[in-house]
Chains A and B, each alone.
Chain A
Amino acid sequence: MSGAALRRNGLGVLGLTLAALAVLAALAAPVLAPHDPVKGDFSQGLKPPGTPWHPLGTDQLGRDTLSRVLYGARVALFIGLCTVLLTAIVGGILGLLAGFFGGWPGQALMRLCDVQLSFPFILLALTINAIVGLGLRNIIISLAAAGWVVYARVVRGEVLSVKQRDYVQAAAALGTGRARILFRHILPNVAPSIIIVASLQFSQFIVAEAAISFLGFGVQPPTPAWGSMLSESRDFLYIAWWLAAFPGAALALTALGVNLVGDWLRDILDPKLRV
């Protein structure tokens, strides 16, 4: 194995490990967490890390930081997963149809993408979230509404190029039905790029959700989301650094893990795709 391949796989393994840890934290939070993430004990407020029974300290309400960070993985991964699935399905189908059938509906869809892309992603998601309202469900809707265009664009572009390939032309010449060409010949060849976009978007969605919750929209306290924990921590930065340090570190490590997995998948599946 060459040095570059070794490094690539090494980073891939690191990414998988970090991502697996985040998934483990999310799934096993009730088992791993030493305390209730929402219920506090006022007599135990603002204890620093290393306090017995509170390895990462407690917040102003005496809630255990470790438990909240573990449960935060649940919120983050749940939102990330739902958003990625929603955007992949909606954006993927629209891109597939726009690329395959073309015509004015395809053009209209691409103009709609232009409109959406004329606005920074985070600001678009934030604006939509401020309008549709707060909470877990609405943040998923907002992120998906802002994020689907990437799939639509990439998938449409891929379909347009796959459509020209010989095996598709041959299938069409043999009189294969349109639906069969679309699902048997085109979709499997477009699928890798959908997977790559999904893996690269996943961390963007998690970080965007945290940013929006940090700004006071999105997921609301007392739900233990990393973004809203960071938002609350701002008032205590002078006396309790751990309230800001740990949720943010969990977010950064999760994003790092998912990014590395995404890069690795792209190297394996399609090194030329630039998203």
Chain B
Amino acid sequence: MSSCECRAAPSGTSGTLVGMRAYLLSRLAQTALVVFLSLTAVFFLVRLSGDPVLLFLPMDIQAKDVNEFRERLGFNDPLPVQYARFVSGAVRGDFGESLRYRRDALRLVLERLPATIKLGVTALLLTFCLAIPIGILCATKRGSLVDYLGMGAAVLGQAIPGFWLGLMLIYVFSVRLGWLPTGGMGGPAHFVMPCVVLASFYAARIARLTRSSVLDTLNEEYVLTARAKGLAEWIVIGKHTLKNSAIPIVTLAGLETGQLLGGAVITETIFAWPGLGRLTVQALQNRDFPVVLAAVFVISVTYTLINLAVDLLYGWLDPRTRREVAL
């Protein structure tokens, strides 16, 4: 179970590297396919849901102008032609101009990405710093008051919707106490409430999973052996238990990291955070479909890359899965 063992894979170091490269390439190809298919789906859904031009333009516009607009954006062409144009543009990263901001849609989306990443990473750190120690503590002190309180908080955290928690935090800490700003991006104080809201749900899930995963591992024979050898309890927990409990935690954490992008949509809207999520909601509200498509592109690429990173981490933690992969 030590890390030296997994480096000395039976196929030899170079063989593993070649296998690894092939694996990475096939995964990246899969990612490209998935992103392409989701863009196609959104493209056709948008086009089939009605005339997009009428949604972009104000109600009182002249029929002649509508037609001119349509012609300019190419909506009078047959659907396959439009699709071909969309694909050839998308491959070059060109999703057209935002109908609202009159700027390149992808650039607009990418400009908002750093704010979302900052919020997401901070929330993720908060989640791990909170959830994993609580989960371990609850597992090692199973049935105690700490366990009941910790798991009670986790069950509550899972049930409380983030947007309600956000409103209540704003009421208490901004309206009543005046301690924290209601929204926007700025100094550390601006991060507090959005991060707590974004982290609450994930922290609850990860704490519960950490607890059950550590409990499972504590029953394994090698933990009994370690205890029988007379090792100190912190070594048994820290060395023998945690690394082996980590696999399901990493898997869920990875899946949750992707879902943070979804949570960011709501959190950013409540706290007026200038990120990708808020931009996407605004683009959907304004029917600014070039921006919607660019956002779909960036989100699905980010999401699948996070999942790929999680799978690689998984292989590092559990050499058994890595050998299957290398073959």
Contact = CB atoms under 8 A, between A and B. Distances in A.
Contacts of A127: 42, 284, 292, 296
A120 B262 contact: yes
Contacts of B46: 131
A123 B280 contact: yes
Q: Lowest 10 A-B CB distances belong to which pairs?
A: A120-B262, A248-B164, A256-B159, A130-B284, A122-B262, A255-B159, A115-B37, A244-B167, A118-B34, A131-B49
Nearest to B289: A131
The interface size bin for chain A is: 35 or more
Interface string B260-289: 011101100100000001001100110100
Interface string A126-137: 111011110000
A252 B261 contact: no
A203 interface: yes
Contacts of A207: 161
A211 B163 CA distance: 7
Interface stretch (A60-68, A172-180, A189-197, A232-240): A232-240
Nearest to A233: B167
A157 to B, nearest CB: 15
Given A127-B284, A207-B161, A252-B160, A122 B266 contact: yes
A176 B80 CA distance: 48
B258 A120 contact: yes
B259 A120 contact: yes
Given A118-B34, A118-B307, A244-B164, 15 more contacts: A114-B30, A115-B41, A116-B38, A120-B262, A120-B265, A121-B262, A123-B261, A123-B265, A130-B292, A211-B161, A217-B284, A233-B167, A234-B167, A248-B164, A255-B161
A201 interface: no
Nearest to A251: B161
A116 to B, nearest CB: 8
A-side interface mostly: helix
B159 A118 contact: no
Contacts, number: 121
Given A230-B163, A248-B161, A214 B34 contact: no
Nearest to A206: B161
Contacts of A255: 159-161
Contact of B164 (A118, A128, A241, A252): A252
A259 B157 CA distance: 11
Contact of A203 (B159, B248, B261): B159
Nearest to B172: A241
A118 B34 CA distance: 7
A255 B156 CA distance: 9
B192 to A, nearest CB: 18
B299 interface: yes
Interface string A116-157: 101111110011101111000000000000000000000000
Interface of A: 3-4, 7, 11, 111, 114-116, 118-123, 126-128, 130-133, 203, 207, 210-211, 214-217, 230, 233-234, 237-238, 241, 244-245, 248-249, 251-253, 255-256, 259-260, 274
A120 B159 contact: no
Contacts of A133: 49
Interface in B151-178: 155-156, 158-164, 167-168, 170-171, 175
A114 B35 CA distance: 10
Interface string B27-43: 00010001101100110
B155 A244 contact: no
Given A123-B299, A244-B168, A3 B143 contact: yes
Which of the listed residues B156, B159, B304 has the most CB atoms from chain A within 10 Å of its own CB? B159
Contacts of A217: 284
B45 interface: yes
Given A4-B143, A131-B49, A244-B168, A215 B161 contact: no
